[in-house]
Structure 1
């Protein structure tokens, strides 16, 4: 059974002048880094805190056994349609996740525990996914998307660094991707490196505060994130990862 809801992003409309400029940078450079103040008007503090609570109920990601990674994860799917500032959402059935563009995962059907429907349709998640969808439409021109929603916690422990990208430098294999930091506690590291396809200088940045974000055209860059290192016995880096592919 699927559910649907629609949401005209009134807070997103306040960013209406920002989306064209943000998306133009993505078209030009392949990506954009957005800091918390640039997205703060998109989502209320209460909705953000409610959304962040979803990372406290993630099962262990057993698909990374054998590659020295400890992380927790859920995966959900949405159909998202964009009509100007109006964005509609429909929950899709859970399915296997494939990333054949990455050698580590090529040919593998990965099945994750699903993101619950109440989280997928929460005000906070719809605000962030809706913003990303409007960005993807502005960059790509497509208006109907199959969207993957990944709730990922990478755990670093004393003597065992966290590996946000065990794949190393890679391309995700989607049209566009939005990345939003939800929590960073008790760790150092986590330096993001972006390699533009056009050979221009690499860019390095660290997402530090909740809502620090990155959005990129997956066809124009490759990227990687350095290990996270526990400051004490353990620490976490929580990310919301949103991938976009045109509806078949």
Structure 2
């Protein structure tokens, strides 16, 4: 189990196919603090025999309680699904975390591009230091193009800094989201003659029994369920 650690930094190989998939993200219409593009998917992770299995779940909107996200919590946010295979990243994370194999897990995968323009910084985390409401989080820096900044900071429950570093391409960090808060600083263009961007995956691991997927979760926190007409299938 990951219980003895608060976080661990790791290296992750990202294929050119996965890196290039960030060029096909939609603008996040729920994000008012600059330009962010994204896709989203969810999986169910179960252990059988001596291996973890990953089942991609039907696409539904993303929902966070306002407790975790005061800016965009409590609403159903509809995004197109992630196309690329993320299971190699999940396998890397579970090798480190060693999650309880006797239970199933929900995996929320967010694929982000934060865009910076000359004179207009990109804001990766507009809500500031926060928790995602997961058990564990894996954050992967895939690509940094013409940017500076985007420094990742982790805080303990007393808001004391326990980690502060700018993740480079191929670097990742696994976090105990039940015991740490996380934040990221603004992204600025390095060469003012062109735009820049920072591409990341943010992946949450949640005990399945906590029930954060499906109509009942949506109804409890919004009073409504997903509208099939708004689900953005490719």
Structure 1-normalised TM-score? 0.76
Query: Partners of 1:245 and 1:188 in 2: how far apart?
Result: 32
- Which residue of structure 2 lines up, in the alignment, with residue 9 of structure 1? none
Offset of residue 133 of structure 1? 3.4
User: Bigger shift: 198-207 or 48-57?
Assistant: 198-207
| Contact 1:190 1:227 (8 Å CA) reproduced | yes
Q: Over the residues paired in the alignment, what is the CA RMSD in angstroms?
A: 2.1
> How far apart are the structure 1 equivalents of 2:59 and 2:27?
17
Partner residue, 1:188: 148
- The size of the alignment, in residue pairs, is 205
Query: How far off its partner does 1:85 sit?
Result: 5.6
**Of 183, 189, 194, which residue of structure 2 is paired with 1:224?**
183
Matched residue of 1:242: which SS?
A: strand
Residues in 2 aligned to 1:201 and 1:145: alpha-carbon distance in whole angstroms: 29
More helix by proportion, 1 or 2?
Answer: 1
Tell me by how many angstroms 1:202 deviates: 3.0
Unaligned runs of 5+ in 1: 1-19
Contact 1:142 1:246 in 2 (8 A): no
Whether the 8 Å CA contact 1:61–1:70 is kept in 2: the answer is: yes
Cross-structure match for 1:73: 38
1:212 aligned to 2:171?
A: yes
Once the two structures are superposed, the pairs formed by residues 162-177 of structure 1 within 5 Å of their partners are 162-177=122-137
Matches within 5 A, 1:89-168: 89-100=54-65, 101-116=68-83, 119=84, 122=85, 125-136=86-97, 138-139=98-99, 143-168=103-128
Go from structure 1 to structure 2 and tell me whether the alpha carbon gap of 1:201 and 1:235 turns closer, same or farther (over 3 Å shift): closer
Q: Give TM-score scaled by structure 2 length.
A: 0.80
Query: Structure 1 residues 83, 205: closer, same or farther in 2, change over 3 A?
Result: farther
The alpha-carbon distance between structure 1 residues 156 and 247, as it changes in their structure 2 partners (threshold 3 A), is same
Deviations 1:90-147 (A, max 9, x none): 110111111211211221211111113xx1xx3xx211112223444x2556642111
- Deviations for 1:162-195, whole angstroms, at most 9, x for unmatched residues? 1111111111111111011110110001111110
The residue number in structure 1 matching 2:202 is 241
Counterparts of 1:69 and 1:236, CA distance in 2: 12
Equivalent-residue separation in structure 2 for 1:242 and 1:235 (angstroms): 23
* Structure 2 gap segments, 5+ residues each: 210-234
Residue 31 (structure 1) aligns with:
7
Match in the other structure for 2:30: 63
Does the residue aligned with 2:39 lie in a helix, a strand or coil? strand
Would the aligned equivalents of 2:113 and 2:200 in 1 still touch at CA under 8 Å? yes
SS at structure 2 position matched to 1:112: coil
Q: Tell me the distance in 1 between the aligned counterparts of 2:22 and 2:120.
A: 21
1:86 corresponding residue in structure 2? 51
